[in-house]
Amino acid sequence: MSIGELLAATVPMVRTLNLEFIETTADKAVLALPDQPDFHNHVAGPHAGAMFTLAESASGAIVLTAFGEQLTRAVPLAVRADIAYKKLARGRVTATATLGRPASEVIAELDAGGRPEFPVSIAIAREDGAVTGEMTVVWTLRPNG
């Protein structure tokens, strides 16, 4: 099962918004939000909540890809998020997520008995490449038990 299929099966908002998984690796996750009038705001672009969900889902995709082997001993949880809407978004938008700390460093902290926190940076862009929003989600790997 791919990360996209896993998230679509376990996170209802991914299905509701019809998010498209373009690329999911341990280095980068790229998701798209199709242009859907049902999720537009008052200026005919994607609603802020839909863009937040797109970006948060991209961050979750990279976390699951980078730390999937740790799921037997830790649960990934979003701790906090900060989003800035920079330009008017119209049409299809994509979110590109990257890890803010090396995965090996996060795993070493988990191995040492810690509860590591790490940022994931996400850029939201229109089809013309203009960045319409930037988001940071801080995640943790909470040890089981």
Global pTM reads 0.95
Predicted local distance difference test score (pLDDT) of residue 69: 94
Given a cut of 80, whether residue 43 has pLDDT beyond it is yes
Strands ordered across the beta sheet of 74-85: 20-24, 29-33, 93-99, 117-126, 131-143, 74-85
Sorted by where each begins, the domain ranges of the chain are 3-143
Dihedral sign, CA of 142, 78, 80, 128? positive
> 87-140: per-residue pLDDT in tens?
999 999 999 999 999 999 999 999 999 999 999 999 999 999 999 999 999 999
CATH number of 3-143: 3.10.129.10
